[in-house]
Amino acid sequence: MKYYSTRDKNVSLSAAEAVKMGLSRDGGLLTPTRIPQIDRAFLERLTPLEYARRAAAVMALYLTDYTEEELLTFGQRAYGPEQFDDPAAARHPVQRRNAVRRRGGQEEPRPAPGTARLAAPHRAQGRPLRRGRRSRHRP
């Protein structure tokens, strides 16, 4: 794919040259000569992918001078687990959905359906959750 300057349409660069240059020498923005069309089927193919692979698939539409492996490396460097405060944000959507955050930042798998754990000790003792500003020492 070719990129042109918004200030001078005669400036035409490859995707790799545009990435390397950043801005056109004339101060214009480098924009693609055409905007790739994304259809529903493309979006549905992205759904099961982890975030870095999604990014690589979208970048492939615009950065045609790079290999799939290079784009995946870019995606992993930009959106890998170490880039987030919560590494779960970068994981596969199904993995995120099947994990639940616990106290202390540790993740535990969700219980299998029909085997739910009790949420707190007071529920295990059959007492309702108390709300309000009552003393903790009252029965």
pLDDT tens across 36-54, in order?
A: 999 999 999 998 888 889 9
Contacts from 103-107 at CB under 8 Å and sequence distance 24+?
Answer: none
| Residues β-bridged to residue 23 | 29
Task: Flag whether pLDDT at 128 surpasses 60.
Answer: no
**Residue 62 corresponds to which tokens in the numbers above?**
């615009």
The predicted pLDDT at position 62 comes to 94
R_g over Cα of the chain: 25
**Quick check: 65 and 73 in contact, CB under 8 A?**
no
Q: How far is CA 46 from CA 50, 91, 93, 101, in A?
A: 8, 13, 11, 25
State the average pLDDT for the chain. Answer: 77
